[in-house]
Structure 1
Amino acid sequence: MTVTPPPRPENLDFLDTIIPYDRANILTYARVLDVVEERAIIDGRDWREASIIILGCDPDRDEPAARRCWDAHVARARWIIGEGLPLFLAGDGRRRGR
Protein backbone atom coordinates (compact mmCIF):
# COMPACT_ATOMS: atom_id res chain seq x y z
CA MET A 1 0.00 0.00 0.00
CA THR A 2 1.39 3.41 -0.97
CA VAL A 3 0.87 6.22 1.51
CA THR A 4 0.84 9.79 0.29
CA PRO A 5 1.55 12.03 3.26
CA PRO A 6 0.06 15.50 3.41
CA PRO A 7 2.35 18.35 2.40
CA ARG A 8 3.40 20.07 5.60
CA PRO A 9 3.91 23.77 6.19
CA GLU A 10 7.60 24.64 6.37
CA ASN A 11 7.07 26.34 9.71
CA LEU A 12 5.37 24.00 12.18
CA ASP A 13 4.84 26.81 14.70
CA PHE A 14 1.12 27.05 14.05
CA LEU A 15 -0.68 30.30 14.86
CA ASP A 16 -3.95 30.62 16.79
CA THR A 17 -5.90 30.75 13.56
CA ILE A 18 -7.21 28.08 11.25
CA ILE A 19 -5.09 27.83 8.12
CA PRO A 20 -5.87 26.04 4.84
CA TYR A 21 -3.54 23.21 5.91
CA ASP A 22 -5.83 22.54 8.89
CA ARG A 23 -8.92 22.25 6.73
CA ALA A 24 -7.17 20.00 4.24
CA ASN A 25 -5.77 17.75 6.97
CA ILE A 26 -8.48 17.47 9.61
CA LEU A 27 -8.52 13.69 9.12
CA THR A 28 -4.75 13.63 9.53
CA TYR A 29 -5.19 15.29 12.92
CA ALA A 30 -7.84 12.70 13.85
CA ARG A 31 -5.48 9.88 12.91
CA VAL A 32 -2.67 11.42 14.97
CA LEU A 33 -4.95 11.69 18.00
CA ASP A 34 -6.05 8.08 17.54
CA VAL A 35 -2.44 7.00 17.97
CA VAL A 36 -1.73 9.34 20.88
CA GLU A 37 -4.86 8.27 22.72
CA GLU A 38 -4.10 4.59 21.98
CA ARG A 39 -7.21 3.89 19.97
CA ALA A 40 -7.09 0.76 17.84
CA ILE A 41 -7.69 2.43 14.48
CA ILE A 42 -4.02 2.18 13.54
CA ASP A 43 -3.48 -1.16 15.28
CA GLY A 44 -1.69 0.23 18.34
CA ARG A 45 1.33 1.54 16.47
CA ASP A 46 3.70 3.87 18.27
CA TRP A 47 4.52 7.42 17.18
CA ARG A 48 7.54 6.33 15.14
CA GLU A 49 5.64 3.95 12.91
CA ALA A 50 2.56 6.16 12.81
CA SER A 51 4.64 9.19 11.81
CA ILE A 52 5.78 7.32 8.70
CA ILE A 53 2.28 6.16 7.83
CA ILE A 54 0.38 9.35 8.63
CA LEU A 55 2.86 12.19 8.09
CA GLY A 56 5.57 10.71 5.90
CA CYS A 57 8.20 11.61 8.52
CA ASP A 58 10.82 8.89 8.87
CA PRO A 59 12.41 8.73 12.34
CA ASP A 60 15.06 6.34 11.04
CA ARG A 61 16.35 9.08 8.71
CA ASP A 62 16.07 12.05 11.06
CA GLU A 63 14.50 11.29 14.43
CA PRO A 64 14.64 14.84 15.84
CA ALA A 65 12.89 16.27 12.77
CA ALA A 66 10.31 13.47 12.71
CA ARG A 67 9.64 13.97 16.42
CA ARG A 68 9.22 17.74 15.97
CA CYS A 69 6.79 17.12 13.12
CA TRP A 70 4.86 14.52 15.13
CA ASP A 71 4.71 16.68 18.27
CA ALA A 72 3.61 19.74 16.27
CA HIS A 73 0.75 17.78 14.71
CA VAL A 74 -0.31 16.35 18.07
CA ALA A 75 -0.32 19.83 19.60
CA ARG A 76 -2.20 21.26 16.63
CA ALA A 77 -4.79 18.47 16.71
CA ARG A 78 -5.38 19.07 20.42
CA TRP A 79 -5.68 22.82 19.85
CA ILE A 80 -8.20 22.33 17.06
CA ILE A 81 -10.47 20.05 19.08
CA GLY A 82 -10.30 22.51 21.98
CA GLU A 83 -9.82 26.23 21.54
CA GLY A 84 -9.70 26.09 17.75
CA LEU A 85 -12.97 24.21 17.21
CA PRO A 86 -15.20 27.32 17.14
CA LEU A 87 -12.81 28.88 14.63
CA PHE A 88 -12.80 25.75 12.51
CA LEU A 89 -16.58 25.56 12.53
CA ALA A 90 -16.96 29.29 11.82
CA GLY A 91 -15.31 28.73 8.47
CA ASP A 92 -13.04 31.74 8.15
CA GLY A 93 -10.48 30.75 10.79
CA ARG A 94 -10.20 34.15 12.46
CA ARG A 95 -10.65 34.92 16.13
CA ARG A 96 -13.72 36.94 17.03
CA GLY A 97 -13.59 40.06 19.15
CA ARG A 98 -9.94 40.97 18.68
Structure 2
Amino acid sequence: MSVTPPARPEDLDFPNAITPYDRANILTYARVLDVAEGRDIIDGHDWREASIIILGCDPDKDEPAARRCWDAHVARARWITTEGLPLFIAGDGGR
Protein backbone atom coordinates (compact mmCIF):
# COMPACT_ATOMS: atom_id res chain seq x y z
CA MET A 1 0.00 0.00 0.00
CA SER A 2 1.50 3.32 -1.01
CA VAL A 3 0.80 6.48 0.91
CA THR A 4 0.24 9.71 -0.98
CA PRO A 5 1.92 12.54 0.88
CA PRO A 6 -0.13 15.67 1.55
CA ALA A 7 0.19 18.65 -0.74
CA ARG A 8 2.28 21.12 1.20
CA PRO A 9 1.77 24.87 1.22
CA GLU A 10 4.58 26.82 -0.40
CA ASP A 11 4.82 29.07 2.65
CA LEU A 12 5.58 26.99 5.72
CA ASP A 13 5.14 30.00 8.00
CA PHE A 14 1.72 29.01 9.28
CA PRO A 15 -0.62 31.64 10.75
CA ASN A 16 -2.03 31.53 14.29
CA ALA A 17 -5.35 30.33 12.91
CA ILE A 18 -6.61 26.97 11.70
CA THR A 19 -6.29 26.71 7.93
CA PRO A 20 -7.94 24.40 5.41
CA TYR A 21 -4.52 22.71 5.11
CA ASP A 22 -4.61 21.98 8.86
CA ARG A 23 -8.07 20.45 8.65
CA ALA A 24 -7.11 18.31 5.66
CA ASN A 25 -3.88 17.11 7.29
CA ILE A 26 -4.71 16.56 10.95
CA LEU A 27 -3.70 12.89 10.69
CA THR A 28 -0.45 13.92 9.03
CA TYR A 29 0.27 16.11 12.04
CA ALA A 30 -0.47 13.21 14.38
CA ARG A 31 1.95 10.96 12.50
CA VAL A 32 4.68 13.64 12.44
CA LEU A 33 4.24 14.30 16.15
CA ASP A 34 4.42 10.60 17.01
CA VAL A 35 7.78 10.31 15.26
CA ALA A 36 9.09 13.63 16.63
CA GLU A 37 8.18 12.67 20.20
CA GLY A 38 9.58 9.17 19.97
CA ARG A 39 6.35 7.22 19.77
CA ASP A 40 7.53 5.80 16.44
CA ILE A 41 4.25 4.58 15.03
CA ILE A 42 5.97 3.90 11.73
CA ASP A 43 8.40 1.20 12.79
CA GLY A 44 11.01 3.30 14.54
CA HIS A 45 11.86 5.55 11.62
CA ASP A 46 13.83 8.72 12.24
CA TRP A 47 12.83 12.13 10.87
CA ARG A 48 14.64 11.51 7.57
CA GLU A 49 12.73 8.34 6.77
CA ALA A 50 9.50 9.71 8.20
CA SER A 51 9.75 12.88 6.11
CA ILE A 52 9.79 10.74 2.97
CA ILE A 53 6.95 8.48 4.12
CA ILE A 54 4.70 11.10 5.67
CA LEU A 55 5.48 14.36 3.87
CA GLY A 56 7.05 13.26 0.60
CA CYS A 57 10.17 15.34 1.35
CA ASP A 58 13.38 13.52 0.44
CA PRO A 59 16.40 14.55 2.54
CA ASP A 60 18.70 12.72 0.14
CA LYS A 61 17.66 15.10 -2.64
CA ASP A 62 17.52 18.34 -0.59
CA GLU A 63 18.20 17.92 3.11
CA PRO A 64 17.81 21.59 4.11
CA ALA A 65 14.39 21.81 2.40
CA ALA A 66 13.25 18.47 3.83
CA ARG A 67 14.38 19.53 7.30
CA ARG A 68 12.54 22.87 7.04
CA CYS A 69 9.41 21.06 5.94
CA TRP A 70 9.73 18.49 8.75
CA ASP A 71 10.43 21.12 11.43
CA ALA A 72 7.54 23.31 10.23
CA HIS A 73 5.11 20.39 10.43
CA VAL A 74 6.36 19.34 13.87
CA ALA A 75 5.97 22.92 15.12
CA ARG A 76 2.52 23.18 13.58
CA ALA A 77 1.45 19.85 15.09
CA ARG A 78 2.59 21.05 18.52
CA TRP A 79 0.77 24.37 18.08
CA ILE A 80 -2.45 22.62 17.08
CA THR A 81 -2.32 20.27 20.07
CA THR A 82 -1.93 23.21 22.44
CA GLU A 83 -3.02 26.72 21.44
CA GLY A 84 -4.81 25.70 18.26
CA LEU A 85 -6.92 22.91 19.71
CA PRO A 86 -9.82 25.12 20.85
CA LEU A 87 -9.87 26.77 17.41
CA PHE A 88 -9.76 23.41 15.66
CA ILE A 89 -12.64 22.04 17.75
CA ALA A 90 -14.68 25.22 17.37
CA GLY A 91 -14.26 25.01 13.61
CA ASP A 92 -14.08 28.77 13.18
CA GLY A 93 -10.51 28.92 11.87
CA GLY A 94 -9.64 31.40 14.60
CA ARG A 95 -11.55 34.22 12.97
- Sort the TM-score into its range (normalised by shorter chain): over 0.9
Between the two proteins, the alignment pairs up a number of residues equal to 95
The AA in structure 1 aligned to 2:11 is: N
1:22 partner SS = helix
1:9 partner SS = coil
TM-score for both structures, normalised by structure 2: 0.96
Task: State the partner residue of 1:52.
Answer: 52
Return the alpha-carbon distance in structure 2 between the equivalents of residues 10 and 81 of structure 1: 23
CA drift at 1:44: 1.1
Deviations 1:66-92, CA, capped at 9 Å, x for gaps: 000000000000000000000000101
Return the alpha-carbon distance in structure 2 between the equivalents of residues 75 and 40 of structure 1: 17
- CA RMSD, Structure 1 to Structure 2 (Å): 0.9
> Percent identity of the aligned residues?
83
Return the alpha-carbon distance in structure 2 between the equivalents of residues 62 and 44 of structure 1: 22
- The answer as to 2:22 corresponding to 1:22 is yes
Task: State the partner residue of 1:64.
Answer: 64
2:70 partner SS = helix
Instruction: Pick which of 38-47 and 50-59 moved more.
Output: 38-47
Q: Which has the larger radius of gyration?
A: 1
Unaligned runs of 5+ in 2: none
1:40 partner SS = coil
After TM superposition, where is structure 1 displaced by more than 4 Å over at least 4 residues in a row?
A: none
The AA in structure 2 aligned to 1:9 is: P
Deviations 1:29-62, CA, capped at 9 Å, x for gaps: 0000110111131111100000000000000000
TM-score for both structures, normalised by structure 1: 0.93
